[in-house]
């Protein structure tokens, strides 16, 4: 009885060969869990605080201010400063040789900070303080064309001079003028001179 030299492969083996061939040719997708792809990464950027117009380190000293504002009294001069996150500089200029006039300048600068409610820009802190210190007897100062807001402090709080306060971004400039001549504190002599000095002083403390 003759035997065929080419033996037929069993059917299970043929099935495995066909499956392997199909897998290699791409006809059948492999089973299993697909590899996850990375999605876009979400990042939360911290807002960059706006640059401050005024910094205490760049404020001119009282000597430089007196040199820049020629209308200031030329007698004695006093200077004081405080630190913290709202530092200030005060300059007092007094007359000489019988001149009883004097001018007091104070400029306070608010730095940016952060509290439980979030970032507190210096300009916001300055405005909050300016508004908080307002009184019903203060009078709005108009026509200065400097700063964001200006007011005459309660005239009855001082009988000898007039005080003008100016809000300018992250700083408050206060000018107290005493003529030494008993000028009415609501009068043009006192307020006109104080306003003129305030404009010159505001210019003198601008960042260079």
Q: What percent of the chain has pLDDT over 90?
A: 58
**Torsion region of 32: left, alpha or beta (phi above 0 gives left; psi -120 to 50 gives alpha):** left
What confidence score (pLDDT) does residue 93 get? 97
Amino acid 39: pLDDT = 57
Compute the distance between CA of residue 149 and CA of residue 141 in angstroms, rounded to an integer.
8
- Contact assessment for residue 151 and residue 141, using Cβ atoms and an 8 Å cutoff: yes
pLDDT for the residue 48: 56
Per the domain annotation, does 153 fall within a domain?
yes
Domain that holds residue 106: 58-204
169 compared with 40, residue with greater pLDDT: 169
d(C-alpha 159, C-alpha 33), whole Å:
87
Q: In the predicted model, is pLDDT for residue 23 greater than 50?
A: no
The rounded distance, in Å, linking the Cα atoms of 90 and 79 is 6
Q: Which of 35-49, 58-72, 104-118 has the lowest mean pLDDT?
A: 35-49
Model pLDDT for residues 96-154, shown as the tens digit of each residue? 988 999 999 999 999 999 888 889 999 999 999 999 999 999 999 989 999 999 999 99
Is 93 a domain residue? yes
Q: Looking up tokens 């504190």, which residue turns up?
A: 185
> By the 8 A CB rule, do 59 and 83 touch?
no
pLDDT above 80: residue 28: no
Query: Lowest mean pLDDT: which of 26-30, 54-58, 122-126?
Result: 26-30
Query: Six-digit token pair at 18?
Result: 């066909």
Average pLDDT of the chain to the nearest whole number: 84
pTM of the model: 0.74
Neighbours of 144 (CB within 10 A): 14
Residue 16 lies in a domain: no
In a domain, 164, yes or no: yes
User: Does position 17 have pLDDT exceeding 70, yes or no?
Assistant: no
Structural domain total, the chain: 1
What mean pLDDT comes out for the span 82-105? 93
**Model confidence pLDDT, tens digit, residues 171-195:** 999 999 999 988 898 899 999 999 9
Residue 119 lies in a domain: yes
Q: What does the pLDDT read at residue 158?
A: 75
Q: Are 53 and 111 in contact (CB under 8 A)?
A: no
């Amino acid at each position: 009885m003759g035997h065929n030299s080419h033996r037929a492969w069993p059917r299970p083996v043929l099935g495995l060969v066909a499956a392997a061939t199909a897998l290699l040719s791409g006809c059948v997708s492999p089973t299993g869990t697909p590899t996850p792809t990375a999605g876009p990464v979400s990042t939360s950027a911290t807002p960059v605080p706006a640059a401050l117009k005024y910094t205490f380190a760049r404020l001119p000293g009282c000597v430089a201010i007196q040199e820049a504002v020629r209308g200031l009294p030329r007698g004695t001069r006093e200077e004081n400063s405080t630190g913290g996150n709202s530092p200030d500089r005060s300059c007092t200029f007094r007359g000489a040789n019988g001149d009883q006039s004097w001018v007091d300048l104070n400029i306070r600068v608010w730095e940016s900070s952060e509290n439980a409610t979030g970032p507190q820009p210096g300009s916001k802190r300055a405005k909050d303080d300016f508004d908080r210190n307002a009184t019903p007897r203060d009078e709005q100062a108009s026509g200065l064309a400097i700063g964001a807001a200006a007011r005459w402090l309660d005239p009855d709080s001082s009988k000898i001079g007039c005080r003008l306060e100016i809000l300018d971004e992250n700083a408050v400039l206060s000018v107290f003028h005493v003529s030494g001549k008993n000028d009415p504190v609501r009068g043009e002599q006192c307020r006109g001179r104080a306003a003129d000095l305030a404009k010159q002083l505001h210019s003198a403390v601008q960042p260079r």
